Structure 1
Amino acid sequence: MTRPETDRTEPGLGAKAPAENDTAAGAGRAPRRDARLDNAKFLLIGLVVVGHAIEPLRDVGAVSALYYWIYFFHMPAFILISGYLSRSFDGSSNRVEKLVLTVAVPYLIFWTIHQSIYTVERGGLPDSLSVLKPTWTLWFLIALFLWRLSVPVWKRLRWPVLVAVLISLFAATTSLSDTLSLGRVVSFLPFFVLGLSLRREHFALLDALWVRLTSLVVLGATAALAVPISDRLSRDWLFWRDSLTDRDIDPLIPSIGIRLAFMGLALAMTIAFLALTPKRRTWFTALGAYTLYIYLGHSVVLILFKASPWYDVMNNPVGAVVTVLVAVGLTLALCAPWVRAGMRWAVEPRLTWFLKQDDRGADADKTASAPEARDEKRNERTSGV
């Protein structure tokens, strides 16, 4: 999620990954980034920004259908990639230190920024100042932090995906508070664990012609499906946030069925999206390294937009188109070197002075010598949003 020219470990949004055909690692050179994953991360973060930008305009024309289509799969896809790029996390002190510096500290910084804006907007302090209750988009950093810490556990299980699905379904039948975004942590868990279980050869299966043709049908059909669903189904199902007990229907029968249906829909669309994502370098491949900058930066900009008259003026079809274009422009602008330089203090804070030195964690990172292990360690650099 950050600068490709550095060797710093980053959180979940922009991990470095090796190219599948690169043999440089065996020759002692750093492997290239995986172009398909970088392309996918940039396209997905673009959908994140567009989805958040058009949220207040859902009553305008086809905006609601577009909003539903984006939310069908964009976060499950991002979380699956995050899981895949978190495979090397072993719980060592060095890895935990990097997790704190690249996820927890930026979370605290942007939580403070969000709350400061809300305080000015409302003219007073909010009802709760608990850092355990993430503001708006920051739930993902909380979730990534908890998921990453649990990686060693999932690696020990024989059927991790099945266990994660059962936990997701049945834990959601009890009341879950918004503390630590537990609803989303539990609900999205299967996608993270599925990503952990994937290997390079699984992505190679996406290159088959019949898979790509089917993927076109899947994305087209779901776009058509979004039109009637956006008028009939509560958008709360898209957020994976609330407990199933918060629905107005029996939580143990139809609610679980609907949750499973949304899981299947998200998985099918994620596979289709990845199959159609270019696996070669494109003009935006390099931008896939900066997804954390985009994710954190756009939230501040859009909070300011929502506090301004922007959405009152743009509440019409032309305004919706303009808002989408602004969202695309914002995505690209947040990748600009001068913008990243200005945000680096918050996105990539250098606070190693805050933590104790522990040579054992550093030594543990040097023990892996197999090419797969070396590649996975490089992948951990920003494996996520």
Structure 2
Amino acid sequence: MSRAPGSAARPEKATQAPGRDSRLDNAKFLLIALVVFGHAIEPLRDYAPTQVIYYWFYMFHMPAFILISGYLSRNFDASSSRVEKAVLTLAVPYLIFWAIHQGIYAAEDGMPDSLSVLTPTWSLWFLVALFLWRLSVPVWKRLRWPVTIAVIISVFAATADLTTTMALGRVLSFLPFFVLGLSLRKEHFELLDRTWARVGAVAVFAVTFAFALFIANEEVSREWLFWRESLSDRDIDPILPSMAIRLTFMAIALAMSFAFLALTPKKKTWFTKLGAYTLYVYLGHGAFFLILKASPFYEYFEGTGPVGLAVTTSIAVAVTLLLCTPWVRKALKWAVEPQPQWLLRSDEPAPKAAMSGSNPAEEASTAERPEAAQGSAAAGPAPDGSPAGPSSGGGEGPRPGAS
């Protein structure tokens, strides 16, 4: 999500690195804005239009963010430099914000019964998932039918009694979107520029909005959209028709993800450069809304209908833009982009490298390609994402593993 630590361009300048894809940066920013918006309006879903909107974009915003994260993770080769980068940009920020979230919980309700760092708090599940997905990239690159295998794992894993430990439910459920992203190439995204693709994208969004109206009115369980709990936990046969429903929502998410990308501007816009800072938004907004939900704010707007929706939407936009500003990024850099080099041991120089005539400067210059730099910003929101993350993913309440 955020710019990779140690990149040549300084974050404060917010310039787009050579080779970055404007469409993907635009998409990451828009998706992370949806993540923030979803968490902002979640407590006010008693208003019917809010409920419909919530269901509609939860059908695709995290799958789309994860798909982009997978595409931008293609260069991950499990080398020591890339593993080190994953630890510094994903694992360490996770531990810092996990401690911040637990502090907010403790201030609100007292000390919890368990303080296991293996149980992600609220939106932090995405960092855990992305860390595990990235470590598995070399495996997926070796398989002949990676997407098919990932779908099978996702569907059958949903029948197991998965706990919140390491966010395994979501790690396995969202896996096909990440693996699909790994399998995509630039020419696949170029197909989205065709007129038929954009017309089809509008049709997809129209049909899925009507579907969102239906499932919102029928009060279909949001767990189908969160991709978190086991199918065995629901009042429905976990094999059939549950698997068919899971595959249906997977197909809807995929269609909406590509429809979203088809309608996303491919040229630079005023928010293109902000797509490099989605990790700041993803991590920063979580702490903000945990505090806001612990306050009387939402009680005041409960039952106000369009007024509450308008106010929370305005807050979501303001928070998203504020967390992208240079001075806020500078204030949060210690937590979002920490550099605890003391955690890592320094390797001794390898004599064989010197004898073989390898050029360390050349190796260093090729270690990080533009796609890898953009990947660290995507991924999360989340939701390397964005956040775009990704989004964050669910939002039924500020508790461990809730979103």
Normalising to structure 1: TM-score of the pair? 0.90
Match of 2:333 in 1: 344
Structure 2 partner of 1:381: 376
Letter in 2 for 1:338: W
Aligned partner (choices 241, 246, 268) of residue 228 of structure 2: 241
Structure 2's unaligned 5+ residue stretches are: 380-385, 387-403
Aligned residues of 2:52 and 2:213 also touching (Cα < 8 A): yes
Q: Which residue of 2 aligns with 1:180?
A: 166
Alignment partner, residue 299 of structure 2: 312
Partner of 2:7: 7
> What percentage of aligned pairs have identical amino acids?
62
Partner of 2:212: 226
Corresponding residue number in structure 2 for 1:159: 145
For 2:179 and 2:170, the matched residues in 1 are separated by 14
Closer, same or farther: CA 364–263 of 1 in aligned 2, 3 Å: farther
Query: Which position in structure 2 is the counterpart of 1:327?
Result: 316
Paired with 1:365 and 1:378, the residues of 2 have a C-alpha distance of: 18
Map 1:358-373 → 2, pairs under 5 A: 358=347, 366-367=362-363
1:356 CA drift (Å): 1.1
SS at 1:62's partner residue? Answer: helix
User: For 1:234, what is the secondary structure of its paired residue?
Assistant: coil
Q: Per-residue deviation at 1:304?
A: 0.6
Match of 2:285 in 1: 298
Q: Is the 8 A contact 2:160 2:230 kept in 1?
A: yes
Q: Measure the CA separation in 2 of the matches of 1:282 and 1:155.
A: 34
For 1:32 and 1:370, locate their aligned partners in 2 and report how far apart those are by CA, in whole Å: 14
Letter aligned with residue 316 of structure 2: A
- C-alpha distance in 2, partners of 1:4/1:145? 14
Which residue of the other structure, out of 247, 268, 271, is the alignment partner of 1:281?
268
> Structure 1: how far apart are the matches of 2:230 and 2:318?
36
Residue 364 of structure 1, CA deviation:
9.0
Deviations 1:131-189 (A, max 9, x none): 00000000000000100000000000000000000000111111101100100000000
Measured in 2, the distance between the counterparts of 1:141 and 1:363 equals: 34
Tell me what 2:121 maps to: 135
Q: Aligned-pair distance for 1:31?
A: 2.1
Instruction: State the TM-score, normalizing by the size of structure 2.
Output: 0.86
| Distance across 1 between alignment mates of 2:317 and 2:341 | 35
Number of residue-to-residue matches in the alignment: 366
Matching residue's letter, 2:2: T
* 1:352–1:211 CA distance, 2 compared to 1 (3 A): same
Q: 2:107 aligns with which of 102, 120, 131?
A: 120
CA distance in 1, matches of 2:373, 2:69: 13
Matched residue type, 1:319: G
**Mean Cα deviation higher: 358-367 or 327-336:** 358-367
- For the Cα contact (< 8 Å) 1:176–1:242, is it kept in 2? yes
Paired letter, 1:294? V
1:300–1:247 CA distance, 2 compared to 1 (3 A): same
- 1:176-215 to structure 2, matched below 5 A, reads 176-215=162-201
What pairs up with 1:4-43 in 2 under 5 angstroms?
7=7, 31-43=18-30
Amino acid at match of 1:324: T
> What is the letter of the counterpart of residue 82 of structure 1?
S
Which one of the candidate residues 28, 31, 38 is aligned to 1:44? 31
Work out whether residues 111 and 135 of structure 1, in 8 Å CA contact, stay in contact via their aligned partners in 2.
yes
Q: How does 1:242-257 map to 2 (within 5 A)?
A: 242-257=229-244
Dislocated runs of 4+, deviation >4 Å: 3-6, 359-371
Superposed displacement of residue 64, structure 1? 0.3
Deviation digits for residues 100-124 of structure 1 (CA, Å, limit 9, x no counterpart)? 00000000000000000100101x2
Task: Indicate whether 1:88 and 2:83 are aligned.
Answer: no
Contact 2:275 2:377 in 1 (8 A): no
CA distance, structure 2, for counterparts of residue 219 and residue 368 of structure 1: 44
> Alpha-carbon deviation of 1:383?
3.3
State the shift of 1:377 in Å: 3.6
- Work out whether 1:168 is the aligned partner of 2:157: no
Q: Is the 8 A contact 1:290 1:335 kept in 2?
A: yes
The CA distance in 2 between the partners of 1:304 and 1:146, in whole Å, is: 29
Tell me the C-alpha RMSD between the 2 structures. 2.5
Residues 112 and 298 of structure 1, relative CA distance in 2, 3 Å threshold? same
Indicate conservation of the 8 Å contact 1:17/1:33, yes or no.
no
* Aligned CA distance change for structure 1 residues 218 and 312 (closer, same or farther; 3 Å): same
Corresponding residue SS for 2:76: coil
User: Aligned partners of 2:3 and 2:180: how far apart in 1?
Assistant: 27
Alpha-carbon deviations, 1:210-255, whole Å to 9, x = none? Answer: 1001101111221122111112211111100001111111111111
Give the match for residue 94 of structure 2.
Answer: 107
Q: Deviations over 1:295-342 (max 9, x none)?
A: 000000100110011111112220121101111111001101111111
> What does residue 77 of structure 1 align with?
64
- Deviations along 1:322-380, one digit per CA (max 9) or x if unpaired, are 10111111100110111111100000001112101236799899559999x94444444
Q: Is the 8 A contact 2:73 2:375 kept in 1?
A: yes
